[in-house]
Structure 1
Amino acid sequence: MPSSLARCVLSCALSAAALAIPVMSAQSAAAEVVPMPPHEKTFASPDGPTFVVGSEGESINKVPPLNASGTVREVFISGSSYTRSDAPSGGTLAVGYHVGCAVELQGGNVGVGPNAYLNPGLLDQEDIGPVVSINVGPGSVSDVPLLTKEVVSGVPARIMMRDIHLVVNGCIGPAVVRQYTLMQLHTDSLDDIGVVYGDPLWI
């Protein structure tokens, strides 16, 4: 027959395990996928060409941070940004995020895997699993460029994003993210820029 001490150890271990299960389940349940509304605008250039800029299918998956730190925010971002134009020349399509906190986002990097990093804004859409990691210090809001694509005249262009991993480090309170899609139209006589903004979301 087990001693009183053995029975106590067994009982305490089972109680601890029972308590751990709801905690782990609560952390898993904290993940939340938020669908964001589409946005589109049509811009008319002074010399005649018009171009459309839009985003659709955006979703932001808010997940608990891997290190369980209260100063870290993690999300996985998906969506599609596009443009089309009747201009006789091409341009550049770009997509990124504004990220705000009670502190300034003082820098970032875009990487594939834990050790391979690329400059922000130079990531090709065929790269797999990019991670945007932002360290923060006292301040306000930062621009985090993600992807760019050269647009050919007369050909609609699109940038697809699937589970882009965005990590905000050192944020004392909630952070806010807002997507933007930018099209810069190039003609012989001018450069024309149109931007469409998504809805802001607390993460």
Structure 2
Amino acid sequence: MLRIISTASFTASALVVLLLPTAHADIVNLPPHEKTFESAMGSFTVGTHDEAINRIPPLNGVPTSHEALVSTVAYGRLDGQAEGVLRTGYSVGCAARVDAVIPGVDPTTEFGLEGPQQNYATEQVQRSATEQAQSSTVEQSSTGESAQSQTEGTVRSQEFESGQIQEYNGVIPSIAVDPGLFLELELQPGDITNVDIGTGKALIPGRTVQIITRDFHIKVDNCAGPVTIRQYTYLEARTPEVDDSGAVFGEPTRL
């Protein structure tokens, strides 16, 4: 008699990432930032204002994806005879990166033996046979031959009946089959990536130069946990004698 036990298992690393809520659309307005640097070539100023982050739900509806529309005005001014460029963008930090999602099947099979076992029916048969033997001994005839014959017959009957029960409840092979269904999420430490918006706006000495951004789309996929973004603006100036630079950074904001 074979018994087949079927079970299914579902394992996942950091399954909690699937339970994270999806962000709702909202707009965050951030304060302006400005710095003025003194240099051998003359002073220069770099700054930002009117920064807004519109956090929107991801189109795929997956908690490991994040989206936002960002707007800002970055500016720079050179107050000296120099040349240079203005560049701006966002640093994007992910708490933990989901490297792979691997669904699959890893079946396992276990073989074993169970028994022998003596159940309640076996004990009941043996108890009944013993009582019959004792009763036959008490009611033996004057010669004693009839009692001896009945006792031997009862013992044989006990062995026969008990043997039937033991054969039915003897060693039983068993097979346990586990389909081993799994979903594996491999998490790696999160990255910080720069997303350039303006990569090199030429500066004009004595003039304020701007990079204006409206609803620039930032999208982050395969990120478990929060995503934080921070605006940056660099001014890089140079003369034949000196290279100089300065920067301002916005407020870190979670998507």
TM-score by length of 2: 0.54
Please tell me whether residue 59 in structure 1 is matched to residue 52 in structure 2: yes
Please tell me whether residue 194 in structure 1 is matched to residue 215 in structure 2: no
Tell me the residue number matched to 2:25.
31
Preserved contact between residue 81 and residue 159 of structure 1 (Cα < 8 Å): yes
Please tell me whether residue 100 in structure 1 is matched to residue 93 in structure 2: yes
Query: Cα 1:105–1:91, aligned 2, differ >3 Å: closer, same or farther?
Result: farther
Structure 2 SS opposite 1:173: strand
Percent of residue pairs identical: 41
TM-score by length of 1: 0.67
Structure 1 SS opposite 2:225: coil
Structure 1 SS opposite 2:224: coil
Q: Which range moves more in the overlay, 179-188 or 150-159? A: 150-159
Say which of 67, 70, 85 aligns to 1:77: 70
Tell me the residue number matched to 2:194.
143
Query: Cα 1:48–1:153, aligned 2, differ >3 Å: closer, same or farther?
Result: closer
Say which of 224, 229, 238 aligns to 1:177: 229
Question: What is the letter of the counterpart of residue 83 of structure 1?
Answer: G
Query: Cα 1:144–1:88, aligned 2, differ >3 Å: closer, same or farther?
Result: same
Please tell me whether residue 44 in structure 1 is matched to residue 53 in structure 2: no
Q: Write out per-residue CA displacement over residues 3-42 of structure 1, whole angstroms, 9 at most, x where no aligned residue.
A: xxxxxxxxxxxxxxxxxxxxxxxx8x92100001100000
Preserved contact between residue 105 and residue 141 of structure 1 (Cα < 8 Å): no
Question: What is the letter of the counterpart of residue 164 of structure 1?
Answer: F
Give the superposed CA RMSD. Answer: 2.2
Larger radius of gyration: 2
Q: Write out per-residue CA displacement over residues 144-163 of structure 1, whole angstroms, 9 at most, x where no aligned residue.
A: 22213111222210000000
Query: Cα 1:146–1:104, aligned 2, differ >3 Å: closer, same or farther?
Result: farther
Preserved contact between residue 105 and residue 142 of structure 1 (Cα < 8 Å): no
Please tell me whether residue 86 in structure 1 is matched to residue 79 in structure 2: yes
- CA distance in 2 between counterparts of 1:147 and 1:105 reads 29
- Aligned residue pairs, count: 146
**TM superposition outliers: structure 1 runs of 4+ over 6 Å:** none
- CA distance in 2 between counterparts of 1:158 and 1:146 reads 12
Preserved contact between residue 105 and residue 140 of structure 1 (Cα < 8 Å): no
Question: What is the letter of the counterpart of residue 250 of structure 2?
Answer: G
Higher helix residue share: 2
Preserved contact between residue 84 and residue 156 of structure 1 (Cα < 8 Å): yes
Greater relative contact order (CA < 8 Å, ≥ 6 in sequence): 2
Q: Which runs of 5+ in 2 are unaligned?
A: 1-21, 100-186
In the TM superposition, what is the alpha-carbon distance from 1:102 to its structure 2 partner? 1.7
